[in-house]
Chains A and B, each alone.
Chain A
Amino acid sequence: DTGVSQDPRHKITKRGQNVTFRCDPISEHNRLYWYRQTLGQGPEFLTYFQNEAQLEKSRLLSDRFSAERPKGSFSTLEIQRTEQGDSAMYLCASSLDRAPGELFFGEGSRLTVL
């Protein structure tokens, strides 16, 4: 079963360092989403791709965050100059572009910024 996979599962870094997360969606899914989840909260939308095009970005996505999906398959989320407030679980999800279009989530990449 090839569900959504994320790598690494856990990243510990020092403040000011750059980190990159990778997401491999379900192969036939052309939509890919990034969410952030902090303790006790629901997932918060960061950005979304349709194939390789980044179609929507949240106001939460500061200029230190960049996401790519170069060939419309896997995606990367990079955070530059990490801050302690970036500590969170970063979730990737994919979906088909037809109704009901439900999201299939990976297990997430947990970022801890010291």
Chain B
Amino acid sequence: GEDVEQSLFLSVREGDSSVINCTYTDSSSTYLYWYKQEPGAGLQLLTYIFSNMDMKQDQRLTVLLNKKDKHLSLRIADTQTGDSAIYFCAERTGGQNFVFGPGTRLSVLP
């Protein structure tokens, strides 16, 4: 079945880079997404990558996709306290369903 896994916690110092990792199981996934959830707020799309791409860069965000290993990562450069949130990896499967991981709670220490 479809499954998305992430490590649950990550702690970094302000100004360092954060790398959040995700593995997924459905090789037919067409798009993979990263969402951010701040306390009391809805999920907000950060970025996405098409499955035939290896990398996508968007300002401080870099997404790397290793399709062979079904591994996705999100790198946040120069991490700020405002980046503290829960980050969800999601895959869009062959149907229209989106499968989300459990989320990685990023804590940014001053």
Contact = CB atoms under 8 A, between A and B. Distances in A.
B24 interface: no
B99 A107 contact: no
Interface of B: 4, 8, 30-31, 33, 35, 40-45, 48, 50, 88, 90, 92, 95-103
Interface residues of A, number: 26
Contacts, number: 62
A99 B30 CA distance: 9
Nearest to A103: B98
Interface string A35-77: 1000011111100101000011000000000000000000000
A102 B102 contact: no
Contact of A48 (B48, B97, B103): B97
Given A48-B97, A56-B95, A101-B92, A108 B42 contact: yes
B33 A102 contact: yes
Interface of A: 4, 31, 33, 35, 40-45, 48, 50, 55-56, 91, 93, 99-108
Contacts of B99: 45
A55 B96 contact: yes
A105 B33 contact: no
Given A31-B96, A48-B97, A103 B88 contact: no
A105 B100 CA distance: 13
A45 to B, nearest CB: 5
Nearest to A33: B98
Nearest to A55: B96
